[in-house]
Chains A and B, each alone.
Chain A
Amino acid sequence: MFGAFGKQETPKEMEEILNDTITPQELEKFEKVYMKELKDKKCVTAKTQFEYAWCLVRSKYGADINNGVKIFEGLCKDDPDNKRDHIYYLAIAYTRMKDYTTAQKYVQAFLEIEPNNMQVMLLDEHIEKELNKEFKKDAAIAGGALLVLGGLLGVGFALAKKYHDKKKPDEEVRKNEPAN
């Protein structure tokens, strides 16, 4: 009875995750912890960095997402045990910023380590869809140009042909006239 729902909603499920944004208050909460550690100890624990970066990636603002990316890039080196999470969030971050080509690189890096991860496969599907949309746009422009070119060539051929065949139709008309 409900079987039909799952499949069709799949792409939208990823969209829900990508569209989900954090409230400014929530973000501020984690920012405060991060800034405090930075001030007091000059070095922030991996846990605090991770939490703040995750919140940044969920922000409405591109600048925040960018800052999140920087932290996750650092964490890939400094906290290699959880690299899987960091790569995932880098892919999410670039997808949210609509840099699908970079996002896809992270997705592929993830799938090399964990080929059947559902979360990442769904993200991959979403990125493919967006890349196809971009490709469609490009194709439409290229296709449009081809059509114009084709059209011009077509007209050219038609004219040439008409000129070349000019006599034939006339003859035919003449031939037909007596029959009328």
Chain B
Amino acid sequence: MNENFSRISRLIKSKIDDTIDKISIMSAPYSYSYIFKYIIIGDMGVGKSCLLHQFTEKKFMASCPHTIGVEFGTRIIEVDKQKIKLQIWDTAGQERFRAVTRSYYRGAAGCLMVYDITRRSTYNHLSSWLTDTKNLTNPSTVIFLIGNKSDLESTREVTYEEAKKFADENGLMFAETSAMTGQNVEEAFLETARKIYQSVQDGRLDLNSAESGVQQKQPQRQGRTSLTDDTQTNKDNCSC
């Protein structure tokens, strides 16, 4: 009896949720022209899940358990007036997950490779993470190196300069972030998207290949039939 009652109240709640969903779909422009697949990799505890959470929810999780396998998040962003949906796979850093999480690398357009500036060991492991990425993704995959926990300056073990040099030598983008304060988090995700989008524009990225990690949606709005026209106008608009 009791159980039935809570079922019914849940049913009502879900009805309300459905209606709210419908209303917001009608009122908000949820359409987007591209989907970019991202992966987040790096040693356990460097703050991968916190970075994802900060990016999608604008919140910091002070106590965050180790990820089991993978977590997933999305957010729609805008680059050059194009709406892009980021589909982000956040992998578990614990060693026993490593072999299977490799199967998530395939077809990633962007890879956020994270270490913890207060733990040198997580920085020392970067070359192994980089090897995995190079082996399992394609040459056009954008790799962004993130030195996280920049708010913990007093216990820093890796200097900015050292990591910057490593990034330059390996052709990676680089920033220090804090999932706690939000510093540079937005930038890391967005700059990766801009670089991927640039590859799409330049034709360096094969949209028809599943490996590219980029999907193009058919334009949905009225009067927009050709995407090439679209991008053309956008280019013109943006040359300001």
* In the complex, B159 has a CB within 8 A of chain A: no
Interface residue stretch chosen among B71-79, B113-121, B138-146: B71-79
- Please determine whether A13 and B58 come into contact, CB atoms closer than 8 angstroms: no
- Please determine whether A3 and B58 come into contact, CB atoms closer than 8 angstroms: yes
Q: How many residues of B contact A (CB 8 A)?
A: 30
Chain A: number of interface residues, binned into ranges: 35 or more
Q: A117-B65, A132-B7 are contacts. A54–B76 as well, Cβ < 8 Å?
A: no
* A119 CA to B72 CA, complexed, in Å: 9
- Please determine whether A54 and B100 come into contact, CB atoms closer than 8 angstroms: yes
- Please determine whether A13 and B72 come into contact, CB atoms closer than 8 angstroms: yes
Q: A132-B11, A136-B11 are contacts. A54–B24 as well, Cβ < 8 Å?
A: no
- Please determine whether A82 and B96 come into contact, CB atoms closer than 8 angstroms: yes
- Please determine whether B103 and A22 come into contact, CB atoms closer than 8 angstroms: yes
- Please determine whether B100 and A135 come into contact, CB atoms closer than 8 angstroms: no
Binary CB contact string for chain B from 8 to 34 against chain A (1 if under 8 A, 0 otherwise): 001100100000010010001000000
* In the complex, A17 has a CB within 8 A of chain B: yes
* In the complex, A88 has a CB within 8 A of chain B: yes
- Please determine whether A128 and B11 come into contact, CB atoms closer than 8 angstroms: no
- Please determine whether A119 and B100 come into contact, CB atoms closer than 8 angstroms: no
Contacting residues, chain B, for A89 (C-beta < 8 A)? 68-69
* In the complex, A169 has a CB within 8 A of chain B: no
- Please determine whether A47 and B11 come into contact, CB atoms closer than 8 angstroms: no
8 Å CB contact of B71 from A12, A119, A135, A136: A119
Q: A23-B103, A47-B96, A114-B65 are contacts. A5–B7 as well, Cβ < 8 Å?
A: no
Contacting residues, chain A, for B72 (C-beta < 8 A)? 13-14, 16-17
Shortest distance between the CB of B23 and any CB in chain A (Å): 11
Contacting residues, chain B, for A85 (C-beta < 8 A)? 68-69
- Please determine whether A16 and B103 come into contact, CB atoms closer than 8 angstroms: no
Contacting residues, chain B, for A50 (C-beta < 8 A)? 96
Shortest distance between the CB of A31 and any CB in chain B (Å): 13
Q: Which residue of B lies closest to A52 (CB)?
A: B100
Q: Which residue of B lies closest to A79 (CB)?
A: B96
Q: Which of B10-62 contact A (CB under 8 A)?
A: 10-11, 14, 21, 24, 28, 56-58, 61
B-to-A contact residues, CB < 8 Å: 7, 10-11, 14, 21, 24, 28, 56-58, 61, 63-65, 67-77, 87, 96, 99-100, 103
Task: Give 10 nearest A-B pairs by CB, closest first.
Answer: A6-B57, A26-B103, A88-B68, A16-B72, A13-B72, A6-B56, A132-B14, A54-B100, A17-B72, A85-B68
Offer 16 A-B interface pairs, CB within 8 angstroms, sorted by A: A5-B56, A5-B75, A6-B56, A8-B24, A9-B74, A17-B71, A26-B103, A54-B100, A114-B65, A118-B61, A118-B65, A119-B68, A128-B10, A132-B11, A132-B14, A135-B11
